[in-house]
Amino acid sequence: MTPPARRLAAALLALCLVACRPASDPPASAARPASVPASLSLRAAGTDVQLRASGPAGARWQVVCDTFAGPLVWNGTLPPAPGPAVTRWPRPDARSCEATLHAPPDRAGGPTLLARAALTLPATRPVTVTAAAPSSAPPTAPAPLTGRLTVTPASVRLGLREPWAAQVTLRRADGTPAPDGTPVLLSADGPAGARLSATRVTVNGEASWQLTPDVPGRYRLQARAGRWQATAAAAAQPALLGRRPPVLWAGPDLEVGPLRWTTGAYPDDGTPVTLQALNRSGRVLWTAQVTTAQGVARARVPTLTGAVTLRLSVAGAGESLPWP
């Protein structure tokens, strides 16, 4: 083939390759429908927490507020109608809340996070005063609550870190659970002025506590929520084997122990033992605190004028000795 013929054949081949090239795929942006923008906001509105969310239909939102009684969780799905969806709840006894918005999960994988919002609640709720015209109608009383208080176990042993598990279950008149966030005060009154108290808020109509006494005797536990109240009885007793700690006192040196719990184990190292010197009228002249090691506590007792009694106590158990 002559050189001019070869050049003509090469040109025809190049022209055929360009004309026969398949059309390229359309851009990915043209193949997919335009995505719906998503937005999410969470704010305290008066005495409420308000969620405002918008995005594709079926997107799933969740709000979590941390409370002393555990997390409060709300879930929902965006409706197909366009425009932001607004949801309100009574503000819980919490310091912070977080909201998330996820796209509906597809078959290829899990849900995709579209938006996130966080809210820090004030420590105290603002007081709002609203002026209104006087009305002759009587004020509406809050809906009455009914419920029960349970305390288990009925008796705990001091020194073994056994707590009372107290639980309150509250219901409205129609039998539905009390609103989430209803505050409930639990108090426990014991001997010698001993008192324990703590407040929790309801979740699904329930509130729970763990209380650990440090003074032996019988306690009266009372729960209050608005006008509702209930009481229960419980007891605390020393767990020390023999109920009275053994003491060896020779000169200025004092040895308490060996101490054992009713389970047979030694108290934890570092368990405190309180010592007091009393005069004839019962006034405390001297006090000290020593700790145990392998079930034994040792102390050096000073010389005190007017002391007539040495009193010691450990985990609710006590002993009194005459001063030499």
Which tens digits make up the pLDDT trace of 206-250?
999 888 888 889 999 999 998 899 999 999 998 888 888 889 888
Residue 193, φ and ψ in degrees, nearest 5: 75, 10
pLDDT of residue 128: 35
- Give the whole-angstrom CA distance, residue 160 versus residue 261: 8
Where residue 38 falls among pLDDT bands split at 50, 70, 90?
confident
Whether pLDDT at 1 is above 50: yes
Tell me if the bond preceding 105 is cis, omega within 30° of 0. no
Range of weakest confidence among 1-5, 138-142, 174-178: 138-142
Query: Which residues are CB-contacts of 21 (< 8 A; sequence separation ≥ 6)?
Result: none
Range of weakest confidence among 3-17, 165-179, 222-236, 307-321: 3-17
Q: Across the chain, how many H-helices and E-strands are there?
A: 2, 22
Pairing of strands 228-238, 155-158: parallel
| Percent of the chain residues topping a pLDDT of 70 | 76
pTM greater than 0.85: no
Where residue 149 falls among pLDDT bands split at 50, 70, 90?
very high
Give the burial class of 64: count Cβ atoms within 10 A of its Cβ; 0-12 exposed, 13-18 middle, 19 or more buried. middle
Distances from the Cα of 129 to the Cα of 46, 90, 182, angstroms: 11, 18, 22
Per the CB < 8 A criterion, the answer to whether 205 and 145 are in contact is: no
Distances from the Cα of 104 to the Cα of 2, 81, 112, 180, 211, angstroms: 68, 16, 8, 28, 44
Query: Helices in 20-70 by DSSP H: which ranges?
Result: 28-31
CA 324 to chain centre: 52
pLDDT of residue 212: 84
pLDDT of residue 224: 92
- Give the whole-angstrom CA distance, residue 55 versus residue 85: 9
- Give the whole-angstrom CA distance, residue 207 versus residue 197: 14
Structure tokens at 240: 């020390």
Cβ–Cβ contacts within 10 Å for residue 49, how many? 25
- Give the whole-angstrom CA distance, residue 64 versus residue 118: 10
Higher pLDDT, 149 or 31: 149
pLDDT of residue 232: 92
First vs last Cα of the chain: how many Å apart? 135
- Give the whole-angstrom CA distance, residue 259 versus residue 261: 7
Longest Cα separation, the chain: 137
Where residue 33 falls among pLDDT bands split at 50, 70, 90?
very low
pLDDT of residue 235: 92
The predicted-structure confidence for 254-270, as pLDDT tens digits, reads as follows 999 899 988 889 998 88
Per the CB < 8 A criterion, the answer to whether 297 and 256 are in contact is: yes
* Dihedral over alpha carbons 135, 136, 137, 138 (to 10 degrees): 100
